[in-house]
Amino acid sequence: MATKLNKVPVVIVGVGWGGGIIAAELAKAGIKVVGLERGEDRSTADFQQVHDEYRYAIRLDLMQDASKETVTARNSLKEKALPMRQWGSFLPGEGVGGAGVHWNGQTWRFLPYDFEIKTMTDEKYGPDKLGPDYTLQDWGITYDEMEPYFYKYEQTAGISGEEMPLGPPRSEPYPTPPMISTPILDRFKEAATNLDLHPFMMPSANLSETYENPDGQTINACQYCGYCERFGCEYGAKTSPNVTVIPTAQNTGNFELRTDANVLEILHDDGGTATGVRYVDVKSGEEFEQPADVVVLTSYVMNNTRLLLQSKLGRPYNPETGEGVIGKNYCYQILGGATGYFEDEKFNTFMGAGALGATVDDFNGDNFDHSDLDFIHGGSLSITQTGRRPIANNPVPSGTPSWGSEFKQTSLQYFNRSLSVGAQGASIPHKNNYMDLDPEYTDSYGNPLLRLTYDFTDQDRALYEYLSKRGAEILKEMGANTVEERTISDHWDVVPYQTTHNTGGVIMGGDPETSAVNNYLQMWDVDNVFVVGASAFVHNGGYNPTGTVGALAYRAAEGIQQFIENGGQLVKAEKKNQSVV
């Protein structure tokens, strides 16, 4: 039997960027908050021996333990889903700081087009551009409404960047200057300019200089060591929740962090009001009930969705009827691009940082005309110098054997003689791409695993091919002797790593019939539950999602404070038929 604890005003489930921001803002306002994190505590001091590619990049030491909890996956409704026995396609983080510990630091704002994508697409191209199977809709908020929250997050994180020629409008410049450019990035920018494109330095949470944020937290300058993605930063130079919002919350005395606390259920009464959560101490196995006035889900996309389904909160999405919202609009990302091989030049690819890169936005959003194209949206095209490590980086031209002496010789030849231009392409929701509970497989506590049903669509394939060709054009202009475009597989595959930019499942909007949360991320069906994270994204854009997650978290924190003061729904529902393109 679970031990019932004393009631608190707010309980947070998951202490990464979303949970840290909510905790800091509420705690600064004098509100008592308990944060439950199922992983262990982490700080900069824990990463002093972090330059271990095998431990962190191969064995995935900072990620969720797939032997205890994983997801099942399939490509279509007709298939049986099978468990991912080890992480491959994406890497859910675990522990204090969440994915904000092991991220690269690329920090973007989604475009104005993203937030009103259905309205803008319909007005320019007509309502039949894609067809009825794509469940596209507006987000229930505009970019102009989001802009102050974007800047607040960038101030907290100290983001280093420069003006983006085709990017969204800004009220203020980035808090710190862009990172130092390199010969590789300069070459990309020169080639892009020659092609009449508009290159710029990528906005980065690997800071170009030491910075003190408005809360008084110091973030150090990047050392360009090349150990960002899948690693924590021992210098405290890659902005993370652990060096910003979490210590800010703790310094108030109003925030209690409990680690090794795995939440199994959101408790609620028959009237639809959440009363708290039930969690288990993962080390002792003891169960606890934590009563609360407000429950805030701030865990990973899939965990937010799963916990709502498991707790029977909200209406599960049914792909056969199109009804329901929890699990709807799962989106991934379309990662086209190309690789160039240089026979007579060497590059210092072993050096770098997670968000050291240059980008063009000419093919992102609706920055180009789609009238004669069979897709919408687009993606950012970038070259990054993240620090090429020896185990997992073996670029070789197609036709090279995957093992043996020829592979080794060719791998050594091109380790520092190859460069890639990669695309982050938008992912547009489809009625058959969704999440629900698996009917057969369970986790170590006996609860159903989340089942992911996902496959590439015609939209994805067309966008992938288009962006790969654009990447190849830049590499040819850069002088590569051989250029190979990436090709999309017949079906999405769980095995090779692609990206951890999963979105959707608890989407936001203005209509409760087609969305789960309003634009403060407050559930339509349960007033005192807020669901924060990329689970709110209606589709996935052409950028990394973290900047938009951070902005939405700041807006949600504002909404939670309003709810605590006044109660009730914070947004008036709008009934709109905006569910298909």
**Lookup: tokens for 461:** 């394939």
CB crowding 394-425: b at 16 or more within 10 Å, else e: bbbeeebeeeeeeeeebeebbbbbbbbbbbbb
* CA–CA gap between residue 14 and residue 52 (Å, rounded): 26
**Residue type for 378, please?**
G
Q: At what angle do helices 143-157 and 546-566 cross, to 10 degrees?
A: 100
**Lookup: tokens for 33:** 């908050």
CB–CB of 58/413 below 8 Å? no
CB–CB of 330/504 below 8 Å? yes
Active site residue 501: yes
* CA–CA gap between residue 517 and residue 322 (Å, rounded): 17
CB–CB of 454/433 below 8 Å? yes
**Lookup: tokens for 131:** 């067809």
Q: Which residues contact 353 (CB under 8 A, 6 or more apart)?
A: 105, 179, 204, 206, 222, 224, 225, 226, 228, 238, 385, 386, 387
CB–CB of 10/26 below 8 Å? yes
**Residue type for 188, please?**
F
Long-range CB contacts for residues 58-61, cutoff 8 Å, separation at least 24? 58/391, 58/392, 60/87, 60/91, 60/230
**Lookup: tokens for 290:** 């934590």
Catalytic residue among 102, 268, 430, 501: 501
* DSSP state letter for 401: -
Q: Which residues contact 494 (CB under 8 A, 6 or more apart)?
A: 73, 84, 88, 89
Report CA dihedral (8, 13, 19, 24) to the nearest 10 degrees. Answer: 10
CB–CB of 272/252 below 8 Å? no
CB crowding 464-473: b at 16 or more within 10 Å, else e: bbbbbebbbb
418: Cα separation from own chain's centroid: 28
Residues belonging to the active site: 501
